[in-house]
Structure 1
Amino acid sequence: MKALHIAATGMKAQELNVEVISNNVANMRTTGYKKQRADFQDLLYQNLRRMGAETSSAGTIVPTGVQIGSGVKTAATSRIMSQGTLEQTDKELDVAIRGEGFFQVQLPDGTTAYSRDGSFERDANGTLVTVDGYTIDPGITIPEDSSDLTISADGTVQVIDGAGNQANLGQLQLARFVNKAGLEAIGNNLYLETDASGAAQINNPGDDGFGDIQQGFVESSNVDAVTEISDLIAAQRAYEMNSKIIQAADEMYSTTTNIR
């Protein structure tokens, strides 16, 4: 009887499904977080009677056959890169991307990472950095005696310098990918380029399909609480039904062994 093994694969799949849902719920308030979804595939089949096989010399064939499945497996935990809600903060260094694109972040080892988290700060040198102190690429340094910092929709950063003149400090650039769901999440709201994502395409905000910049806002998580709770209930019921199958198979084994 294969029912025990088949139901066990179903329980393992739903256990992973609940883990994905729990991670989504845990990150409901994480800036720029993109939710994940568990995708499943059926396992190999055993052909007890192959469809299309001839059943007589006259050429009659089996119309459907007999196939027994082996259960389920996890195919992927795909990331859904839909836009999150923009929340107003009124902090001059907070910026959000409205549309396509990622901020470029220089890691300490020289690797370029990508992020939708625009909660920026200034380090001791006035350089624009993430909350972990990683430099935003291209590097922008804000003078200590400047004021009235503005970041326009196209990413241009301007201030009023110590002499009262308007100064242009540079322009933020965005990166986008052919398959952004193929980026590798490494934590700290950062992603890395992979062969699946394709090479980064760099351009200014608002150009050629890139999103624009909204100063004084951050992008919230795209996790929907109602959807996650309903998915959790469905996963719980699927897990319960698979456990019932194991219980039923065990009772059938017990009946067989008790036959006199």
Structure 2
Amino acid sequence: MDRLIYTAMTGALHTMTQQATVSHNLANASTTGFRAQTDAFRAVPVYGESLPTRAFVLDSTTGADFTPGAIQQTNRPLDVAVQGSGWIAVQLENGEEAYTRHGNLKMDANGILQTQQGFNIKGESGPITIPPDSRIAIGKDGSVSVLPSDSRMTAVSIVGRIKLVDPPAEQLVRGEDGLFRLKEGGQAPVSEKVALIDGALESSNVNVISEMVKMITLARQFDMQMKMLENAQQNAQQAGEIMTLRG
């Protein structure tokens, strides 16, 4: 009897966890450069005396779906999309390096190039600062060029180059802030193969229809596991009644 309760109870619990993952993906269906979170069920044996036949059901977060999203043209000078695989490096306040594909950039009050979340874009020589009253152009290789706002002046200056990296997907882990990092820490090397598309953004790779179907399937699984718990309770009551009659 208790084996049924172990399995159904933990199955219902982690079905709810997967529902939270699906809800999170759907909430970010329109987030630029978002990578859908993936997870799966797995069985874990319960170790202990007289418990070799018991098993828990656990939700195993397997990582993220790294399939590229669709490219959407915006014609905004500070919008960039990563073409194919690769990441834009950002520097956090604690000096840590992290990676994003959210290419909707901006400049802060000091002219430092940042993401919309306020993370500094990491250049190959440090933060990238844009001089005031300048027009900006971002090249395919991540080079950031500025032109004076006065159209009569045509001098072009390169003020930095965005650090572009392409570590293997299995080496990356998503943080609570939505940014990716190397599992073992450290910094990924610059990759010359990563290319940017200027004046464009990458959409989320969440498949809304697939996630909705998954949500319905999980809801049905949860109902089934709750019915198993109800059956276990009914069986226990009936067994108790039989023992009372025999007594």
The TM-score range, normalised by the shorter chain, is: 0.7 to 0.9
1:138-159 Cα deviation digits (max 9, x unpaired): 1322222323x32221222223
User: Counterpart in 2 of 1:164?
Assistant: 154
CA contact (8 A) 2:166 2:194 kept: no
User: Counterpart in 2 of 1:134?
Assistant: 119
Q: CA RMSD in A?
A: 2.2
1:10-42 Cα deviation digits (max 9, x unpaired): 101211111111111111111111111222211
Q: Distance in 1 between matches of 2:205 and 2:105?
A: 20
Q: Distance in 1 between matches of 2:42 and 2:233?
A: 26
CA contact (8 A) 2:97 2:187 kept: no
User: Counterpart in 2 of 1:192?
Assistant: 181
User: What is the letter of the counterpart of residue 164 of structure 1?
Assistant: T
CA contact (8 A) 1:34 1:81 kept: yes
Q: Distance in 2 between matches of 1:85 and 1:181?
A: 24
Q: Distance in 2 between matches of 1:241 and 1:134?
A: 45
Structure 1 residues 47-62: aligned runs within 5 Å: none
CA contact (8 A) 2:41 2:59 kept: yes
CA contact (8 A) 2:88 2:99 kept: yes
CA contact (8 A) 2:166 2:188 kept: yes
Distance 1:103 1:131, change over 3 A: same
Report deviation, 1:194: 2.1
Which aligned segments of 4 or more residues in structure 1 are displaced greater than 4 angstroms? none
CA contact (8 A) 2:173 2:181 kept: yes
Report deviation, 1:222: 0.8
1:209-250 Cα deviation digits (max 9, x unpaired): x33101111111111111001111111111111111111111
User: Counterpart in 1 of 2:198?
Assistant: 215
User: What is the letter of the counterpart of residue 217 of structure 1?
Assistant: A
Report deviation, 1:169: 2.5
- Determine what percentage of the aligned residue pairs are the same residue: 30
Q: Distance in 1 between matches of 2:133 and 2:154?
A: 10
Report deviation, 1:90: 1.8
Which of 241-250 and 156-165 deviates more? 156-165
User: What is the letter of the counterpart of residue 193 of structure 1?
Assistant: L
Q: Distance in 2 between matches of 1:179 and 1:199?
A: 14
User: Counterpart in 1 of 2:36?
Assistant: 35
Structure 1 residues 104-253: aligned runs within 5 Å: 104-138=89-123, 139-147=127-135, 149-161=136-148, 162=150, 163-180=153-170, 182-187=172-177, 189-195=178-184, 200-203=188-191, 207=192, 210-253=193-236
Q: Distance in 1 between matches of 2:121 and 2:19?
A: 35
SS of the equivalent of 2:116 reads: coil
Q: Distance in 2 between matches of 1:145 and 1:92?
A: 14
User: Counterpart in 1 of 2:61?
Assistant: 76
**Structure 1 unmatched runs, 5+:** 47-66
**Structure 2 unmatched runs, 5+:** none
Distance 1:75 1:145, change over 3 A: closer
Higher helix share: 2
